[in-house]
Chain A
Amino acid sequence: MANVKGSSVCRTAVDEGKPADWVPGGEKQTVVDPMEMFHKLPREKLFITGSEAARESMRRANIDIAIAYPITPQSESMQQAGYLYDEGYIKEYYRGEEEIGTFSAISGASRAGVRALTATSGPGLMRGMEAISSWPGARTPIIMLNMCRVINTPLAIQPDNIEMSFLLNTGILLLHAENQQDFYDYPLAAIMASEQVDVTLPAVVSVDGFFCTHARGPVEVTPEEFKLPPRDGWRSAVPAMDNENPPARISRDAPIQKSNFISYHMHASWQQEVFAAVERSAKYFDKYLGGLIEVVNPDAEDFIIASGCAVSQAREAVRQEGEQGRTVGLVKVKSIRPFPTEQIFEAVKGAKRILVPEFNQAGWLHKELCAVLYGRCKAVIKDGPRVFGGMTMPTEMIMEWLAEFRKEVK
């Protein structure tokens, strides 16, 4: 009820124009068990943009504080977060000074033990990287929506998911949404996984900008009168920053300030634990998302492995291949961190050819797959097709690559 009683700047909702009998939207909602929300509640089908899907997700996420800084193509979603604050679904909201400030502030909010949300795109992610990369070690559950766009010069606002590669080795949980529906479902799942005691980590849900954020698609949503359980600040892998502890020498973020073996060991073991926690989150995502991967045509010899928008393009290529009498398999990788190594290996162990289409120049998913399947899988793993800088990936392109691949690898 912070926005009713008074925010940090001493203003109450009534001061800001709400009638005296105003009831915040969030207080009219009922808490449901996450599994109930994800798998049992009835759903209504809407035809909305990815940004609107994000709004509907946030509405049901029981968020305490959202801190925003605009950047295309993210801005629309965080503006929507502002409207949700105004409607009383989010308790506190403000525009930060820029991304380092925003992502530092969101870590402060998470340290206070409340559910905290922010979002960014490409250059914003890069600007805030020092702050972002310190979230996992600080064991701060945070949900960040990441609407991918070009980074590096020449500056552009176009979709391209190269920025996700910068998050791979941070210790952050990372999901990649394929479409508007995923961009509604994944943030809710990510919040619940990130706040488990044996996880206590930040989570990022990435989506390919514009293709998803600014285009409409079918999204099945649960009734808006239900919301997730609130964050319990005391259920945490590290003490909550609330002083509700006896006086003692308590440093929430242990500064390792000596150059001696104990400090090396402390940092190393802390990092090991962060990355172990990433692995421990898999069981929650498995439950919430119904698996970390989705497999189409499991018996195929030719497979496409993809994440994000590339999955949709691959689905259509698989369908057209089928029409022409060729069975092509598809593995959709929902979770990039934790990386579902064993599930992917099981899915493609009979494959002969694996194609990895991507919306970025670096081919980070291809490299990931090569690293984990090396020596375990007989298939040839081909990197491409790859488009970037805003290009689309026509299904014909994927089919041409498949045809070529069949010629190369008999």
Chain B
Amino acid sequence: MSLETLRPSPAFASVLPIEYVDLVEHGPYTNRSGDGSKQTVKVTDMGKFKEVIEEHPMCAGCAMTLFIRLAYIGMPNPEHTIVVGTAGCGRLAISQASVPFIYGNYGDTNAVASGLKRGLEIRFPNQKKDVVVMAGDGGLIDIGFQGLMHSWFRKEKFTTIMLDNEVYGNTGGQESGMTNHGKVLKMAPRGKFGDKIDALGLAKVAGVDYIARLAPTNPARVARTVRRAIMVAREVGHSYIQAYTSCNIEYSIPTPDVMKDAFEIEKERYGFEEIVSPEAKAYLDEVEKKPKTKKTD
């Protein structure tokens, strides 16, 4: 474990950076079992413990930042997690976290993560390393589409999280493949042509083992979903989370109304949905120590 590889001498305890001490003593590091079964840092305590991500330069009120903070709290073993990101708003926050971050070219996340995960398995045969891609809708469904699909079909053992703000936020508000039909945005002056791409449907076709859609309306559920997705990727196959993370700037949502919007969109078309393969379900039942449900049919 990382904290065992490099352990500060007790003589230096008094001069260790406060950030380090807080993360280890009052944060998500070492505070848990590593498999997500004993989650001692609770979402409901947010604000009372040291988070792996705190400062970020994203817009005030951006729902994406809330989701990203929750996702980090949900990680079952942040000490052995690597996040792969790409150009897009999310990486402005992700790169500030105390979890190693890879920043490649725009749209390369799922290819990079494929090589990374396989490389880590060779190098650390006895230590599971969790690889998590967190990227925007444009980064995954447009420029990264090919890499995304192939990583799914190859059943690469990592997690993809789409930060779906339904727009290219970072380049100033152009439409993306995940924008809804008819929406007027930059580069869609007459409204988006074509429908929002059914990424969940594609994930189903590709046989992704754990698929979830959610909005950040229920913080505990976000953390739990992220944890489940990572656990499935660790042992079973690929996992995909699609999160509605509104862009209040480009969609002109007044900052105080960001959560109201999230609840409305959730109700309208972004309800919580989980699609779990039988293998993933059996595995989750086991780690979550739930009694196996008997098949009735």
Q: A108-B114, A131-B105, A233-B123 are in contact. Are A8 and B20 (CB under 8 A)?
A: no
* Cβ 8 A contact of B154, one of A94, A249, A257: A94
Neighbouring A residues of B237 by C-beta, 8 Å: 9-10
Cβ B79 vs Cβ A247 within 8 A: yes
Interface residue? B15 (CB, 8 A)? no
Cβ B105 vs Cβ A134 within 8 A: yes
A7-26 to B contact mask, C-beta < 8 Å, 1/0 = 11110000000000000000
B residues 57-94 with Cβ under 8 Å of A? 57, 78-82, 84, 91-92
* Cβ 8 A contact of B119, one of A111, A138, A245: A111
Interface residue? B147 (CB, 8 A)? yes
Q: A8-B157, A249-B97 are in contact. Are A108 and B116 (CB under 8 A)?
A: yes
Interface residue? A29 (CB, 8 A)? no
Cβ B101 vs Cβ A242 within 8 A: no
Segment of A50-58, A98-106, A259-267 in the binding face? A98-106
Cβ A247 vs Cβ B29 within 8 A: yes
A interface bracket (residues with beta carbon within 8 Å of B) = 35 or more
Neighbouring A residues of B111 by C-beta, 8 Å: 96-97, 100-102, 104-105, 108
Neighbouring A residues of B98 by C-beta, 8 Å: 247-250
Minimum distance in angstroms from A14 CB to a CB of chain B: 16
What residue in chain A is nearest B79 (Cβ atoms)?
Answer: A243
Cβ B5 vs Cβ A105 within 8 A: no
Interface residue? A376 (CB, 8 A)? no
Cβ A112 vs Cβ B100 within 8 A: no
What residue in chain A is nearest B156 (Cβ atoms)?
Answer: A8
Minimum distance in angstroms from B282 CB to a CB of chain A: 14
Q: A247-B52, A253-B103 are in contact. Are A104 and B154 (CB under 8 A)?
A: no
Q: A64-B122, A107-B104 are in contact. Are A241 and B157 (CB under 8 A)?
A: no
What residue in chain B is nearest A102 (Cβ atoms)?
Answer: B111
Neighbouring B residues of A111 by C-beta, 8 Å: 102, 112, 115-116, 119
Neighbouring A residues of B116 by C-beta, 8 Å: 108-109, 111-112, 241
Cβ A242 vs Cβ B124 within 8 A: yes
Cβ B157 vs Cβ A253 within 8 A: no
Interface residue? A319 (CB, 8 A)? no
CA A67 – CA B96 in complex, angstroms?
A: 31
B residues 1-54 with Cβ under 8 Å of A? 2-3, 5-6, 8, 19-20, 23-24, 27, 29, 52
Interface residue? A113 (CB, 8 A)? yes
Neighbouring A residues of B149 by C-beta, 8 Å: 97
Interface residue? A244 (CB, 8 A)? yes
Cβ A8 vs Cβ B114 within 8 A: yes
What residue in chain B is nearest A94 (Cβ atoms)?
Answer: B154
Cβ B102 vs Cβ A241 within 8 A: yes
Cβ B118 vs Cβ A7 within 8 A: yes
Interface residue? A36 (CB, 8 A)? no
A residues 228-284 with Cβ under 8 Å of B? 233, 241-255, 257
Neighbouring B residues of A131 by C-beta, 8 Å: 104-105, 108
CA A245 – CA B102 in complex, angstroms?
A: 15
Neighbouring B residues of A109 by C-beta, 8 Å: 115-116, 118-119
Cβ B112 vs Cβ A252 within 8 A: no
Cβ A8 vs Cβ B118 within 8 A: yes
Q: A91-B122, A97-B146 are in contact. Are A250 and B105 (CB under 8 A)?
A: no
Cβ B2 vs Cβ A253 within 8 A: no
CA A182 – CA B89 in complex, angstroms?
A: 47
CA A252 – CA B108 in complex, angstroms?
A: 16
Interface residue? B277 (CB, 8 A)? no
Most buried by A among B52, B113, B123: B123
Neighbouring A residues of B181 by C-beta, 8 Å: none
Neighbouring A residues of B213 by C-beta, 8 Å: none
Q: A243-B80, A246-B20 are in contact. Are A105 and B101 (CB under 8 A)?
A: no
Interface residue? B95 (CB, 8 A)? yes
Cβ A92 vs Cβ B118 within 8 A: yes
Q: A96-B111, A250-B101, A251-B103 are in contact. Are A113 and B146 (CB under 8 A)?
A: no
Cβ A67 vs Cβ B115 within 8 A: yes
Neighbouring A residues of B156 by C-beta, 8 Å: 8-9
Minimum distance in angstroms from B125 CB to a CB of chain A: 6
Cβ A130 vs Cβ B105 within 8 A: yes
* Cβ 8 A contact of A105, one of B24, B103, B114, B122: B114
Interface residue? B204 (CB, 8 A)? no
Neighbouring A residues of B97 by C-beta, 8 Å: 249
CA A134 – CA B108 in complex, angstroms?
A: 11
CA A257 – CA B112 in complex, angstroms?
A: 21
CA A106 – CA B3 in complex, angstroms?
A: 28
Interface residue? A296 (CB, 8 A)? no
B residues 176-228 with Cβ under 8 Å of A? none
| 27 CB-based A-B contacts, threshold 8 Å | A2-B121, A6-B121, A8-B156, A9-B155, A100-B146, A101-B111, A105-B112, A108-B111, A108-B113, A108-B114, A109-B119, A111-B102, A111-B116, A116-B119, A243-B129, A246-B2, A246-B20, A247-B20, A247-B27, A247-B29, A248-B98, A249-B96, A252-B102, A253-B104, A254-B103, A255-B91, A255-B103
